[in-house]
C-alpha cells in the first residue's frame, strides 16, 4: 500500500496562521461610521442588568454612568482599566479587570497572521461596537491605525471581546466585557464620539523601560511612553496624532 507523504511543517504553519488570522472575524458585524451602537435584545438586557450597579459605584466617585470613558490596557500584567471623567474633566480610575487571554508576546502586531495582539493608540466609535459577536460582546480596535499603516503593518478585525478565548484579540470574561460595554455605550449615548483605547506592553515606568532596553521593540515602546506619562501627570487623555509616520503626543488639558 502506498504511504501518504507527510505534510511539510511549513505548510501546516501556513494553514494554521491563515486560519487563526480570521478567528476574530465573526466578532465584528458593526460598520465603521455608524453613529449609534447597534444593539440586540440580548445586549439591551445586559446593559439593563448592569446599569444600577455601575450607576451607584460611579456616583460614589462623584461622576455618573454616561460620563466620558478612557480605556488603558497592559499586556504585562494583563489588565484592562476603565477611567471615567469627573465633572471637572479629570479621568479617575474606576475598575480594572484581568485580561483572560491575548495572543502572542510583548510587542506590536506587525502582519496578518503573526498571531500578535496590537499595541498602540486606538479609538472605538459606535460603529465599531458589535452586540452580535460570536464572542458574547466585542468592539473593534480599529487596527491598523494611521501609525500602523505608515509602518506597513497589516491585519484586520482585532477585537476586545468576551468568551475568554482568543488568537489575535484581547479576550475578557463575559462579566468584564459586559461592564466595559455598558460604560462605553452609556458614554456614547451621552455624546462621546469615540472611546480612546491605549494599549501598552507594560506600565511605561522608567524602570520598566530600562528593564526592556535591549528588546528589539524598545524604540517603539519609548514612543508610546509620553502618552502614559502625560496621563499620569494630568489625568487628562493626551491628544495623539500621526505625522510623518510617527506618533505625536500632546498632553491633555
Say whether 100 is catalytic: no
Q: Are the C-beta atoms of residues 66 and 195 closer than 8 Å to each other? A: no
Q: Tell me how crowded residue 76 is: count the other CB atoms within 10 A of its CB.
A: 13
Say whether 198 is catalytic: no
Q: Are the C-beta atoms of residues 85 and 94 closer than 8 Å to each other? A: no
Torsion sign (Cα): 241, 191, 187, 103: negative
- List all residues 6 or more positions away from 209 whose beta carbon is below 8 Å from its beta carbon: 218, 221, 222, 225
Q: What share of the chain is helix, strand, coil (3-state, %, to 5)?
A: 35, 20, 45
* Active-site entry in 169, 198, 212, 236: 169
Please tell me the distance from the alpha carbon of residue 109 to that of residue 159, in angstroms, as a whole number.
13
Please tell me the distance from the alpha carbon of residue 98 to that of residue 77, in angstroms, as a whole number.
8
Secondary structure tally for the chain: helices H, strands E: 6, 12
Please tell me the distance from the alpha carbon of residue 85 to that of residue 69, in angstroms, as a whole number.
6
Please tell me the distance from the alpha carbon of residue 78 to that of residue 38, in angstroms, as a whole number.
28
* Active-site entry in 50, 136, 161, 198: 161
Q: Which of 101, 104, 100, 102 is nearest to 114 (CA)?
A: 104
Which residues belong to the active site?
161, 169
Amino acid at each position: 500500500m502506498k504511504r501518504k507523504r507527510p505534510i511539510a511543517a511549513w505548510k501546516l504553519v501556513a494553514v494554521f496562521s491563515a486560519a487563526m488570522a480570521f478567528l476574530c472575524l465573526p466578532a465584528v458585524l458593526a460598520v465603521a461610521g455608524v453613529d449609534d451602537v447597534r444593539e440586540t435584545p440580548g445586549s439591551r438586557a445586559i446593559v439593563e442588568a448592569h446599569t444600577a450597579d455601575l450607576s451607584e459605584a460611579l456616583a460614589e466617585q462623584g461622576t455618573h454612568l454616561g460620563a466620558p470613558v478612557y480605556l488603558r490596557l497592559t499586556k504585562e500584567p494583563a489588565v484592562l482599566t476603565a477611567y471615567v471623567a469627573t465633572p471637572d474633566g479629570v479621568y479617575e480610575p474606576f475598575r480594572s479587570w484581568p485580561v483572560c487571554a491575548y495572543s502572542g508576546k510583548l510587542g506590536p502586531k506587525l502582519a496578518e497572521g503573526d498571531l500578535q495582539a496590537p499595541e498602540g493608540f486606538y479609538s472605538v466609535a459606535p460603529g465599531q461596537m458589535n452586540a452580535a459577536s460570536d464572542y458574547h460582546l466585542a468592539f473593534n480596535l480599529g487596527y491598523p491605525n494611521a501609525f500602523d499603516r505608515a509602518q506597513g503593518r497589516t491585519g484586520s478585525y482585532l477585537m476586545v471581546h468576551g468568551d475568554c478565548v482568543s488568537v489575535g484579540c484581547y479576550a475578557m470574561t463575559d462579566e468584564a466585557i459586559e461592564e466595559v460595554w455598558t460604560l462605553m455605550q452609556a458614554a456614547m449615548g451621552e455624546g462621546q464620539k469615540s472611546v480612546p483605547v491605549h494599549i501598552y506592553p507594560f506600565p511605561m515606568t522608567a524602570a520598566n523601560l530600562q528593564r526592556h532596553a535591549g528588546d528589539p521593540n524598545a524604540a517603539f515602546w519609548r514612543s508610546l511612553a509620553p502618552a502614559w506619562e502625560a496621563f499620569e501627570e494630568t489625568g487628562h487623555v493626551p491628544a495623539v496624532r500621526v505625522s510623518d509616520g510617527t506618533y505625536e503626543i500632546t498632553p491633555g488639558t
